[in-house]
Structure 1
Amino acid sequence: MIRTRLAAVLAAAFLALLPTTARAADYPDPLPLTGQEIIHDPTVTHLKNGQYVAYSTGGIIGARLSTDMKHWDDAGNAFATPPSWWYEYNSTGDPWAPDLSFRDGRYWLYYAVSSWGTNHSAIGVATSKSGMPGTWTDQGKVFTSDTTDTWNAIDPGVIKADGRLWMAFGSYWTGIRMVELNPKTGKAVPGATVRHLATRPDAPYAVEGPYIVKHGHHYYLFASYDGCCAGVNSTYKIRVGRSTSITGPYVDSAGTPMLEGGGDLLLAGHGKYFGTGGQSVFRDKGQDWLAYHYYDGDDNGTPKLGLNKLSWSHDGWPTVK
């Protein structure tokens, strides 16, 4: 036992002496960006007008615009003022973790309102013909949770599958959940079953921020594991599992269910890039991209936009480049 502990100590000491680039070798750096890079929980889309937009936690759903996906400008907020019902969930009308999609001739912006450390939460939705900041009309609540529930209605991720509309969501509590939405209203089907997609084996069940995409014959569930929002002390990382059914079960490449703590590690902190997470996926000109935030170790842990190409292995698993 003493020799085992000594070996572990020596191994840790050796790793600590390695240069940062050696420890970071398994993960690629994000695309170099300029302009306004500060962001948290980004959702990115190439709009019909040719511009790229990134919405995020912060402000009244903060917005960034780009013409080339490399230089980003501050574009204000999705809303001029918070809808009044947001104040039911926090005193500042502060929204979190938006999700942007296009369906039936208009853009749909889902988002969450809550208070830190509670599951008295709600997911709302707004619509816009252009998707541009300042053009959104709020449509109200989509789905809610309260302190008597075993899930947390934040971090929405919406996907259309087999002619039906679904929303994955969840943060801590019992992990990642899913409900069916009415495609006409964009809101939860009344009495919809709350399905369970992923969790951790022990409290505090640190998994959140689900995002689901389809590739080939599988649906892929991306989620953020461990601790967010602590600058360079953040331990966020992105894991992924897949299923042939939108409702699961999702498993990793070893066959471990995500309901039992499974999930292949896709991207973790490395070099100056701490706490990679809050992810979403978007497709542009035939290329899939992973969008996320990281905390910049060279800039006092400021949260910034990370963009990496998302590729797929011969056996259908995602990799970042």
Structure 2
Amino acid sequence: MKRLRLAAVLAAALLAFLPATAQAADYPDPLPLTGQEIIHDPTVAHLKNGRYVAYSTGGIIGARLSKDMKHWDDSGNAFAEPPSWWYEYNSTGDPWAPDLSFRDGKYWLYYAVSSWGTNHSAIGVATSKSGLPGTWTDHGKVFTSETTDTWNAIDPGVIKADGKLWMAFGSYWTGIRMVELDPKTGKSVPGATAWHLATRPDAPYAVEGPYVVKHGRYYYLFASYDACCSGVNSTYKIRVGRSTSVTGPYVDSTGTPMLEGGGDLLLAGHGRYVGTGGQSVFRDHGKDWLAYHYYDADDNGTPKLGLNRLGWVHDWPVVK
């Protein structure tokens, strides 16, 4: 009995030093929301005019606006009309997975255009002074991929690091990559190296939707693993690793590289909230927030907006 009690004490002590992500058995529910909650692959920001905006995938780059981050109204589309070059990548001009950021006095909206099941894909960029729907000027292609490439140019996530501008991207096709961008144009630098950040050891390499943030001395890579887009049958979940360099290598709390399938489980489906993923991170009033979509099992698997505070324990993120 003494040995059993000692083992229990040692196990409890070990858990106290592990990141909170490794201990999670029950996940917190998202912030209660009202209004237009339907969304996919959200990117959220608190605009200079005081409103919150969320852009998303869904046949268009749909927009939602809120005064308090709790009640959201449908606010049309980012673009009044799809740019003509989108039709090179699918027949309906369907953009995916936007990423919203602010620098140099204007908002930058990155997004992807592709078709399901192919890596004939492109990432584009637009700018706006206000960040509001209907005010965006498109600037064309940032980075592309073809069927001969070993990566897929979708799901952009942009970050400034060490005086340079970087874009993480990727979906299946050997996983997550990163390229350097020209800060003046917002497009990839000529001959940009496609740094490899994360993958799975098994085909079809089901990891996508990268988002990189800096906290303290580390860069953190958040990514969606497994399958989205199947309603209540979706298995999406969010994993995370960290690195002291924006280009990696990224490892989880056990030291397993994300290039070898590592990644701490940050958030998974629970209860009515199925297939949590398509995530991004934004900062508001000094606090970090995780935005993502989930499929509502109480509403026929409808994709909806999830928002949770993001805390930090022992230099690892934890969902609150």
TM-score between the two structures when normalised by the length of structure 2: 0.92
**Partner residue of 1:160?**
160
**Partner residue of 2:315?**
316
**Partner residue of 1:112?**
112
Letter in 2 for 1:287: K
Give me the whole-angstrom Cα distance separating, in 2, the residues matched to 1:58 and 1:239: 24
Alignment of 1:55-134 (within 5 A): 55-134=55-134
Q: Is the 8 A contact 1:170 1:210 kept in 2?
A: yes
**Partner residue of 1:265?**
265
Give me the whole-angstrom Cα distance separating, in 2, the residues matched to 1:59 and 1:269: 25
**Partner residue of 1:201?**
201
1:58 positional shift: 1.2
**Partner residue of 1:174?**
174
1:25 positional shift: 5.6
Give me the whole-angstrom Cα distance separating, in 2, the residues matched to 1:139 and 1:129: 14
- After the TM superposition, which segments of 4 or more aligned residues of structure 1 sit over 2 Å from their partners? none
**Partner residue of 1:297?**
297
Letter in 2 for 1:237: K
1:281 positional shift: 0.1
Task: Report the secondary structure of 2:298's partner residue.
Answer: coil
TM-score between the two structures when normalised by the length of structure 1: 0.92
Letter in 2 for 1:147: T
Task: Report the secondary structure of 2:299's partner residue.
Answer: coil
Give me the whole-angstrom Cα distance separating, in 2, the residues matched to 1:105 and 1:302: 36
**Partner residue of 2:244?**
244
Give me the whole-angstrom Cα distance separating, in 2, the residues matched to 1:64 and 1:217: 34
Alignment of 1:20-35 (within 5 A): 26-35=26-35
Task: Report the secondary structure of 1:259's partner residue.
Answer: helix
Give me the whole-angstrom Cα distance separating, in 2, the residues matched to 1:288 and 1:123: 26
Task: Report the secondary structure of 1:305's partner residue.
Answer: strand
Alignment of 1:209-288 (within 5 A): 209-288=209-288
Residues 213-251 of structure 1: CA distance to partner in whole angstroms, max 9, x if unpaired?
000000000000000000000000000000000000000
Q: Is the 8 A contact 1:275 1:295 kept in 2?
A: yes
**Partner residue of 2:15?**
none
Residues 249-306 of structure 1: CA distance to partner in whole angstroms, max 9, x if unpaired?
0000000000000000000000000000000000000110000000000000000000
1:26 positional shift: 1.3
- Structure 1: unaligned runs, 5 residues or longer: 1-23
1:60 positional shift: 2.2
Give me the whole-angstrom Cα distance separating, in 2, the residues matched to 1:43 and 1:187: 19
**Partner residue of 1:148?**
148
1:59 positional shift: 3.6
**Partner residue of 1:15?**
none
Give me the whole-angstrom Cα distance separating, in 1, the residues matched to 2:285 and 2:42: 19
Letter in 2 for 1:317: W
1:30 positional shift: 0.1
Give me the whole-angstrom Cα distance separating, in 2, the residues matched to 1:204 and 1:44: 29
How many residues matched? 297
- Structure 2: unaligned runs, 5 residues or longer: 1-23
The alignment-based identity, stated in percent, is 89
Task: Report the secondary structure of 1:55's partner residue.
Answer: strand
Give me the whole-angstrom Cα distance separating, in 2, the residues matched to 1:247 and 1:233: 33
